[in-house]
Structure 1
Amino acid sequence: MNTVASGNDNGGGSVPAERIAVVTGAGSGIGRAVCGALSGAGWTVVLAGRKPAALAETAAALAGPALPVRTDVSDPRDVDALFAAVRERYGRLDLLFNNAGTTGPGGVPVDELPYAAWQKVVNTNLTGSFLCAQGAFRLMKAQAPVGGRIINNGSVSAHAPRPDSVAYTATKHAVTGLTKSLSLDGRPYRIACGQIDIGNAASDMTERMRSGVPQANGELMAEPVMDVADVARTVLHMAELPLEANVQFATVLATTMPYIGRG
Structure 2
Amino acid sequence: MRKTDSTDQEHRPAPGIALVTGAGSGIGRAVALALTGAGWTVVLAGRSPGTLDETAARAAAAGAPGTAATLPVPTDVSDPQAVDALFATVRERYGRLDLLFNNAGTFGPGGVPLDELPYAAWRRVLDTNLTGTFLCAQAAFRLMRDQDPQGGRIINNGSISAHAPRPDSVAYTTTKHGMTGLTKSLSLDGRPYRIACGQIDIGNASTDMTEQTRRGVPQANGERMAEPVMDVADVARTVLHMAELPLEANIQFATVMATAMPYIGRG
With the shorter chain as reference, the TM-score category is over 0.9
> Which residue of structure 2 lines up, in the alignment, with residue 167 of structure 1?
171
Shift of 1:17: 8.2
Within the candidate set 41, 46, 51, 1:44 is matched to: 41
Query: Which whole-Å CA distance do the structure 2 matches of 1:187 and 1:149 have between them?
Result: 11
> Which residue of structure 2 lines up, in the alignment, with residue 210 of structure 1?
214
Within the candidate set 178, 183, 191, 1:187 is matched to: 191
Shift of 1:54: 0.3
> Which residue of structure 1 lines up, in the alignment, with residue 228 of structure 2?
224
Query: Which whole-Å CA distance do the structure 2 matches of 1:180 and 1:153 have between them?
Result: 13
1:137 and 2:141 equivalent? Answer: yes
| CA-to-aligned-CA distance 1:200-238 (integer Å, 9 cap, x gap) | 000011000011000000001000000000000000000
| CA-to-aligned-CA distance 1:84-134 (integer Å, 9 cap, x gap) | 000000000000000000000111110000000000000000000000000
Give ranges in structure 2 of 5+ residues lacking alignment.
1-12
Shift of 1:82: 0.5
Give the SS at the match of 2:263. coil
CA, structure 1 residues 248+17, in 2 after alignment: closer, same or farther (shift >3 Å)? closer
1:55 and 2:52 equivalent? Answer: yes
Report the RMSD for the aligned CA atoms in angstroms. 1.0
Shift of 1:240: 0.3
Paired letter, 2:40: W
Identity of aligned residues (%): 82
CA, structure 1 residues 145+256, in 2 after alignment: closer, same or farther (shift >3 Å)? same
Q: TM-score, normalised by structure 2?
A: 0.92
Shift of 1:18: 6.0
Within the candidate set 10, 15, 21, 1:24 is matched to: 21
1:109 and 2:139 equivalent? Answer: no
Query: Which whole-Å CA distance do the structure 2 matches of 1:151 and 1:163 have between them?
Result: 27
| CA-to-aligned-CA distance 1:3-23 (integer Å, 9 cap, x gap) | xxxxxxxxxxxxx98600000
CA, structure 1 residues 95+111, in 2 after alignment: closer, same or farther (shift >3 Å)? same
Paired letter, 1:68: P
Q: TM-score, normalised by structure 1?
A: 0.93
CA, structure 1 residues 210+170, in 2 after alignment: closer, same or farther (shift >3 Å)? same
Query: Which whole-Å CA distance do the structure 1 matches of 2:144 and 2:170 have between them?
Result: 34
The answer (yes or no) to whether the contact 2:102–2:155 under 8 Å persists in 1 is yes
Query: Which whole-Å CA distance do the structure 2 matches of 1:254 and 1:61 have between them?
Result: 26
Query: Which whole-Å CA distance do the structure 2 matches of 1:146 and 1:169 have between them?
Result: 34
> Which residue of structure 1 lines up, in the alignment, with residue 130 of structure 2?
126
> Which residue of structure 2 lines up, in the alignment, with residue 146 of structure 1?
150
CA, structure 1 residues 224+188, in 2 after alignment: closer, same or farther (shift >3 Å)? same
Query: Which whole-Å CA distance do the structure 2 matches of 1:17 and 1:88 have between them?
Result: 21
Give the SS at the match of 1:208. helix
| CA-to-aligned-CA distance 1:12-62 (integer Å, 9 cap, x gap) | xxxx98600000000000000000100010000000000000000000111
| CA-to-aligned-CA distance 1:172-193 (integer Å, 9 cap, x gap) | 0000000000000000000000
Give the SS at the match of 2:105. coil
> Moved runs in structure 1, 4+ residues, more than 4 A?
none
Shift of 1:171: 0.4
> Which residue of structure 1 lines up, in the alignment, with residue 239 of structure 2?
235
Give ranges in structure 1 of 5+ residues lacking alignment.
1-15
The answer (yes or no) to whether the contact 2:15–2:38 under 8 Å persists in 1 is no
Give the SS at the match of 1:206. helix
Report the count of equivalent residues.
248
Query: Which whole-Å CA distance do the structure 2 matches of 1:115 and 1:26 have between them?
Result: 27
1:256 and 2:260 equivalent? Answer: yes
